[in-house]
């Protein structure tokens, strides 16, 4: 039962961090999108989605190694994005 809680906590942490990735990447391009004539909402959706996809890909690659995700692997997966 303890393992289930740990996995649930990891899942919650990943989901909350994915939302943060989406927001951080989406809001970072608001100005750039308007400069080149892309609708603001489209820019946010595109950039946010691309950030989530990058992290998801890295999480999947780390999971493929041994069928588990350690906290270190999760943190490393989120570090594929540059912090500004």
8 Å CB contact between 80 and 62: no
**Residue 8 falls inside a structural domain:** yes
**Residue 24 falls inside a structural domain:** yes
**Residue 57 falls inside a structural domain:** yes
**Which of 8, 5, 21, 1 shows the shortest CA–CA distance to 77?**
21
**Residue 83 falls inside a structural domain:** no
Of 53 and 33, which is predicted with more confidence?
Answer: 53
Q: What mean pLDDT comes out for the span 4-13?
A: 84
Expressed as residue numbers, the domain containing 6 is 2-78
In this prediction, residue 5 carries a pLDDT of: 56
**Residue 30 falls inside a structural domain:** yes
**82 Cα distance to chain centroid:** 12
Residue 84: pLDDT above 70?
no
**Residue 72 falls inside a structural domain:** yes
In this prediction, residue 31 carries a pLDDT of: 74
**Residue 84 falls inside a structural domain:** no
Number of domains into which the chain is organized: 1
Q: pTM of this prediction?
A: 0.81
In this prediction, residue 21 carries a pLDDT of: 94
Q: What mean pLDDT comes out for the span 62-67?
A: 93
Q: What is the DSSP code (8-state) at residue 67?
A: S
In this prediction, residue 3 carries a pLDDT of: 54
């Amino acid at each position: 039962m303890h393992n289930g809680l740990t996995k649930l906590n990891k899942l919650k942490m990943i989901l909350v961090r994915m939302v943060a990735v989406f927001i951080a990447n989406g809001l970072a391009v608001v100005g750039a999108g308007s400069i080149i004539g892309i609708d603001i909402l489209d820019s946010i959706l595109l950039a946010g989605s691309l950030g989530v996809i990058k992290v998801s890909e890295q999480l999947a690659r780390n999971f493929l190694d041994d069928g588990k995700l350690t906290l270190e692997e999760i943190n490393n997966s989120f570090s594929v994005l540059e912090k500004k």
